[in-house]
A = this chain, B = another copy of it.
Amino acid sequence: MTGPSSSDPLVVFTPSGKRGRVPAGTPVLTAARRLGVDLDSVCGGRGICSKCQITPSFGHFPKHGVTVDEGALSAWNAVEARYDEKRGLNPGRRLGCQAQILSDVVIDVPPESQVHKQVVRKAAAVRAITMDPATRLHYVEVQEPDMHEPSGDLERLKAALADQWGIDTAGLEAGLPVLARLQPALRKGNWAVTVVLHTPREGGPSRLLDVRPGLHDGGILGLAIDLGSTTIAAHLCDLRSGEVVASAGVMNPQIRFGEDLMSRVSYAMMHPGGSAEMTDAVRQAIDTLITEIAAEAGATGDEIVEAVFVCNPVMHHLLLGIDPVELGQAPFALATSDALSLGAAELGLGAMNASARVHILPCIAGHVGADAAAVALSEEPYLSDDLVLIVDVGTNAEILLGNRERVLACSSPTGPAFEGAQISAGQRAAPGAIERVRIDPATKEPRFQVIGCDLWSDEDGFAAATAASGITGICGSGIIEAVAEMRAAGLLDASGLIGSAEQTGTARCLPQGRTHAYLIHDASADGGPVISVTQGDIRAIQLAKSALYAGARLLMDEMGVDEVDRVVLAGAFGAHISPLHAMILGMIPDCPLDKVTSAGNAAGTGARIALCNRTARQEIERRVGAITKVETAVEPRFQEHFVAANALPHATAPFARLRARVTLPDVGFNTAGGDDGGRRRRRARSA
């Protein structure tokens, strides 16, 4: 093969700007491949998949130094005409595998024809995901068997992949499920099949996940699964486009073994077989979730060929079938911290394709898991010029602090209060749950919104609009707003004590034992619940927010700073909790409110990025190694910060400015002093 000569046509590809000379008559697809241009193709240039559509440009292009005449490409041919007739080709478009370059030409590759297209996140469009999926489709035509040159069908398929796609098949693996499908698919497709090929590292060995008769463009879906202690959330993505085709969530059934992580570790320690029991439970729940999400997308489980999991270390070990007992005691050693790639079958997940692959992001430390790694992958603190604090709240909070120079991470055991658990009227976020609360500082009267209805409770039509769901309880964001609003309305003092009706001037502050509760909604006349915020609820929120705040402060100490430049709220926070109320409560360190942004479900987004972009998997493995881990559980300063953060609010300079805007009254109800809601008083009496 001789190189191109200066008399050969010049081809310039946009938007990449890649250019070069190719012999006249070269198909555009071939030229693109030779010049390293990102132009998609499933059928390998046979004019049947239409993935390689391009748009030629004509005229003079000073920028590229090229003048393109109308005859720069070969004429529209029969293959294109047939394709246009059957499926329609947009005006100006050509099939890259059919159109041949005859003279100098400028060719635009539209985004949908790029393999590495970018997908803009819909829910929270902070940044786009570049598609570089590990699993792709390849159409191949396989040599028929010949009795006199006997070789296996798989060996001839490999030869075809090497020959027609340039794939290095020396290390290509094919598991038993795909071997069982191979012979029928080849014969049904008349020796033409579309293979689903998994290549976790570019140029690395591949694995054959599936074989489908004939040309089969589509049907490769992947799951991004955020396996939390309380909920399991999954996004089903099209691995060709990156599009989310369905989302679903279920409660983690392990809750019955313990609400928080440490109670599950205890369960494993106290009950022989308890760890295996929890492993079975979570795997079954995931399988059910997969079946449901596939049904929602109108897909079969067989089309789901990949999944990426992010989770905290305890969930990580329980998913893998590893007893988490070591994670319950110092030095909190993980069985393995590196990213894992394994078969879905190894995890006993049967609802996906039998050859489906599972990738699990690396853990950062014994208490800082793959979920924190996913948040880092999504929010990229290591690329930030200013100092960013990233807080992802779940049953555990993952906290990252850093910039280009250094990133710190820790995990803080906030417990499930922020998710509405351990709250007297608490419930998970579902229709009927109070999610927004406002309290008039003058009248002390509440108004609220419930999930599933856009009206406030004092607006016309609210009763009718919520009749179906009822008003059933209060979810995590609701309780946080309620507590913050109670503080702002002077119903709580700085220690967190709820005042009496006399002290607050509202009959909604009702006595409850030795303390008081603030009534938000009483539906008992209609047989509904009475929804109040009790002193116990306030204490639960105080404990949770103190843990969260203490974790963030600990990282700030480690970094040697008293302030951060910006705060990113993720997880339940970003999605539902009002940053203003979070800051009133002192959940997060002070920061100008306009520097607080929401990242939505960052762990889930990180999982989606890893699902859609195999290079990102390697990137986060590298980055995780450079993150400094801070262990809250054994750090004395964590305890100090925790105790100091109990008050509502703690007052630092930036927070004072915020407080000026939201007007926190300086009330105090605990006449006996102290901040423990009466217990200390009782002790004082009995002493």
Asked if B180 and A322 sit within 8 Å, CB to CB, the answer is yes
Closest beta carbon of chain B to A182's beta carbon, Å:
5
Contacts of A183 in B (CB 8 A): 322-323, 325-326, 333, 335
Check if A465 is an interface residue, CB within 8 A of chain B. no
Contact with B along A394-424 (1 / 0, CB 8 A): 0000000000000000000000000000000
Nearest CB in chain B to that of A157: its residue: B336
The stretch among A145-153, A430-438, A640-648 that forms the contact with chain B is A145-153
Check if A662 is an interface residue, CB within 8 A of chain B. no
Check if A569 is an interface residue, CB within 8 A of chain B. no
Question: With A and B bound together, what is the CA distance between A629 and B145 in angstroms?
Answer: 14
Asked if B150 and A322 sit within 8 Å, CB to CB, the answer is no
Question: With A and B bound together, what is the CA distance between A347 and B175 in angstroms?
Answer: 11
Contacts of A333 in B (CB 8 A): 145, 150, 152-153, 183
Asked if A153 and B631 sit within 8 Å, CB to CB, the answer is no
Asked if A631 and B148 sit within 8 Å, CB to CB, the answer is yes
Question: With A and B bound together, what is the CA distance between A323 and B180 in angstroms?
Answer: 7
Question: With A and B bound together, what is the CA distance between A154 and B320 in angstroms?
Answer: 14
The stretch among A360-368, A382-390, A584-592 that forms the contact with chain B is A360-368
Question: With A and B bound together, what is the CA distance between A338 and B156 in angstroms?
Answer: 11
A175-B346, A180-B323 given as contacts; is B631 within 8 A of A152 (CB)? no
Closest beta carbon of chain B to A617's beta carbon, Å:
16
Our pick among B174, B325, B366 for the contact of A150 (Cβ within 8 Å) is B366
Asked if A336 and B179 sit within 8 Å, CB to CB, the answer is yes
Check if A674 is an interface residue, CB within 8 A of chain B. no
Question: With A and B bound together, what is the CA distance between A516 and B151 in angstroms?
Answer: 48
Determine chain A's interface SS by DSSP, over half rule: loop
Which residues, 342 to 366 on A, are CB-close (under 8 Å) to B?
A: 342, 345-347, 363-366
Contacts of A182 in B (CB 8 A): 335-336
Contacts of A175 in B (CB 8 A): 342, 346
Contacts of A130 in B (CB 8 A): none
Closest beta carbon of chain B to A67's beta carbon, Å:
52
Of the candidates A144, A150, A180, A345, the one having the most CB atoms from chain B within 10 angstroms of its own CB is: A150
Check if A295 is an interface residue, CB within 8 A of chain B. no
Question: With A and B bound together, what is the CA distance between A426 and B152 in angstroms?
Answer: 37
A183-B322, A335-B179, A337-B152 given as contacts; is B346 within 8 A of A631 (CB)? no
Contacts of A120 in B (CB 8 A): none
Contacts of A634 in B (CB 8 A): 147
Closest beta carbon of chain B to A268's beta carbon, Å:
12
Nearest CB in chain B to that of A186: its residue: B333
Question: With A and B bound together, what is the CA distance between A648 and B557 in angstroms?
Answer: 98
Question: What are the 5 A-B residue pairs with the smallest beta carbon separation, nearest first?
Answer: A152-B337, A150-B365, A145-B333, A154-B336, A147-B331
Could you name 25 residue pairs across A and B whose Cβ atoms are closer than 8 Å?
A: A144-B331, A145-B333, A147-B331, A150-B332, A150-B366, A150-B368, A151-B337, A152-B333, A152-B338, A153-B326, A153-B335, A154-B337, A154-B338, A174-B336, A175-B342, A176-B321, A176-B322, A176-B342, A176-B347, A179-B321, A180-B321, A180-B322, A182-B336, A183-B333, A184-B323
* Known contacts A145-B332, A183-B322; 19 further A-B pairs (Cβ under 8 A): A145-B333, A146-B331, A147-B366, A148-B631, A150-B334, A150-B337, A151-B337, A152-B334, A152-B337, A152-B338, A155-B336, A155-B338, A176-B321, A176-B346, A179-B320, A179-B322, A180-B323, A183-B333, A183-B335
